[in-house]
C-alpha cells in the first residue's frame, strides 16, 4: 500500500490519518523534514493557514515540502492547506498557480455542509466548509474540479489536488479513496 504522510502541525490531522487508513493507505504524521523521505504522497490539512505557515517555517519544512512537491510528490490539500499551496502573499510553498480569497463565504456562512460533484471523485460528495477559501484565479496549468454556486472550491494542477472544504470531517471516504487510488497508479 502507498505510504501517505499528513502534515501534522495543526488542524484535522487525526481525521485525515484515519480517512487515509480507511482508504487503504499506510500513513505517517509528518512534523520534521526528514519525515518527508520515502512518502508516496502527502496531505496538507486545514486549520489556520497563517499558523500552518508559521509552524512549517519554524520547523524548516517549507523548503523541503516545496522541493518534494515540485519533484512530483502527489498532494491533497484541504482548506487552509489549499491557501498554503497557493503561496503568493501567504508565503507558502507556492506549488499551485492560483489566487485565493480567504474566508470567502463570510461570517454568516462561516460554516456549512453541502454536497457537490468533484471531478475524478464522484457526484454529491459530502463537504464541510469552515471559514473556507475560494479560488478566484486558476492558472493555465490548473483545472477546476469543484464549484459551489459558481465559485471555485476545487482545483487540480499536475499531482496537486486542492479543495476548499474538509472531506475528512464526513463519513464519505470517496475523496481519500480517489486520492489513494491515484497515488497507486
Can you give the binding site for ligand GLN, defined by CB under 6 A?
46-49, 79-80, 83, 102-103, 130-131, 133
Sign of the CA dihedral running 39, 45, 50, 54 = negative
Shortest separation between residue 26's beta carbon and ligand GLN, angstroms: 25
What residue numbers does the annotated binding site cover? 47-49, 102, 130-131
Q: Which residues are catalytic?
A: 79, 166, 168
Nearer to ligand GLN, 130 or 162 (CB): 130
d(CA 140, CA 66): 20
Nearer to ligand GLN, 105 or 179 (CB): 105
Shortest separation between residue 72's beta carbon and ligand GLN, angstroms: 25
Nearer to ligand GLN, 49 or 161 (CB): 49
d(CA 80, CA 83): 5
For 53-80, b where at least 16 C-beta lie within 10 A, e where not — what string? bebbeeeebbebbbebbeeebbbbbbbb
Amino acid at each position: 500500500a502507498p505510504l501517505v504522510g499528513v502534515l501534522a502541525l495543526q488542524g484535522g490531522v487525526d481525521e485525515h490519518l484515519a480517512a487515509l487508513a480507511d482508504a487503504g493507505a499506510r500513513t505517517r504524521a509528518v512534523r520534521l523534514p526528514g519525515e518527508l523521505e520515502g512518502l508516496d504522497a502527502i496531505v496538507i490539512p486545514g486549520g489556520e493557514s497563517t499558523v500552518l505557515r508559521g509552524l512549517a517555517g519554524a520547523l524548516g519544512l517549507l523548503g523541503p515540502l516545496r522541493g518534494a512537491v515540485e519533484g512530483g510528490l502527489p498532494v491533497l490539500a484541504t482548506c487552509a492547506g489549499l491557501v498554503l499551496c497557493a503561496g503568493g502573499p501567504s508565503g507558502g510553498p507556492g506549488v499551485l498557480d492560483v489566487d485565493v480569497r480567504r474566508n470567502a463565504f463570510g461570517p454568516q456562512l462561516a460554516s456549512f455542509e453541502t454536497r457537490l460533484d468533484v471531478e475524478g471523485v464522484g457526484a454529491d460528495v459530502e463537504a464541510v466548509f469552515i471559514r473556507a477559501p475560494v479560488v478566484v484565479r486558476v492558472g493555465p496549468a490548473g483545472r477546476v474540479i469543484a464549484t459551489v454556486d459558481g465559485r471555485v472550491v476545487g482545483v487540480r494542477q499536475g499531482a496537486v489536488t486542492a479543495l476548499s472544504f474538509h472531506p475528512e470531517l464526513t463519513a464519505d471516504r470517496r475523496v481519500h479513496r480517489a486520492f489513494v487510488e491515484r497515488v497507486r497508479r
